[in-house]
Amino acid sequence: MQFKKIFWYFISILFAIFSTLFIAAILSHILNTVLFFSVFLIAIVLSAMLTIIWHIQNKNLFESLLYFISISLICININLIAPVFIDRSLSVFIYFYSTEKGSISTDIYDENFNKEFTLRRIKDAEKMKFITCEENICKPTCKAKLAYYLLTPLGKITNSLDNYKKFRQSIDKNK
C-alpha cells in the first residue's frame, strides 16, 4: 500500500510539472511575454486540484496538506524560478554563449556591460566550474553544457530567452 502511494505521488509530480509547463508555454506565446505571477497562480491552482483528488483517495488531512505544499513548491521552483534565472542572469548568459560558440573572451564587456561586473560574473562562473579560463579565453565545462541543454528548452517554453538573445547579438556585433 505504501509503495502505491509513493508511486502515485511521483506520477502526480510529473503530471503537475508538465501540465504547468504546457499551460505556461501556451500563455507565454499567446501573450508574448515571460509569465511570473501567472505561472505561480497556475501552479497553486493545479496543486489544489491534485490535492483534492489525493484527499478523496487517501482521506488523511495532514498528508493532503503536505502533498499540496510539496507539489506547489516543486512546480513553482521548476516553472517559475528557472525562467527568471535564465532571463536575468549574466552568468547564465556567459556560459550559454560559451557553450554555443565553443569559447568566450574575457573582454566581452562593451557600453552595455560594466567591465568590473562582467569580470566578476566570469570569475563566479569559473568558481562554480561552469567555465575554465586560460589566457583570456573561457571554455565551457561539461556542467555548463549540461545546464545549457537542460535550461534552453525550458527557456524556449517559457519565452524567457529574449534577454539572452540580446546579449548574444551585442557580443556578436562587437566581434
Helix residue spans in the chain (DSSP H): 2-31, 37-58, 61-76, 82-88, 90-101, 115-127, 142-157, 162-174
Shared domain check, 149 and 129? yes
Domain boundary among 87, 122, 138: 87
The stretch 138-158 carries a mean pLDDT of: 85
Confidence band for 35, pLDDT divided at 50, 70 and 90: low
Distance of CA 150 to the CA centre of its chain: 8
Q: What percent of the chain has pLDDT over 90?
A: 2
CATH of the domain at 109: 1.10.10.10
Q: CB-based contacts of 174: which residues, under 8 Å, 6+ apart?
A: 108, 110
Residue 60 and residue 123 in one domain:
no
Res 94: pLDDT:
83
165 and 94 housed in the same domain? yes
- pLDDT tens for 88-114 read 677 888 888 888 988 888 777 655 567
Asked if residue 5 lies in contact with residue 60, where contact means CB atoms within 8 angstroms, the answer is no
Does 70 share its domain with 9?
yes
Sign of CA dihedral 52, 54, 60, 65: negative
pLDDT 10s digits, 62-73: 988 888 999 888
Which residues 6+ apart lie within 8 Å of 24 measured at CB?
35, 38, 39, 42, 79, 157, 158
Mean of the per-residue pLDDT values for the chain?
80
Q: 143, 129 in Cβ contact below 8 A?
A: yes
For residue 40, pLDDT beyond 80? no
Q: What is the pLDDT of residue 154?
A: 78
Q: Which domain holds residue 72?
A: 2-87
- The reported pLDDT for the residue numbered 130 is 86
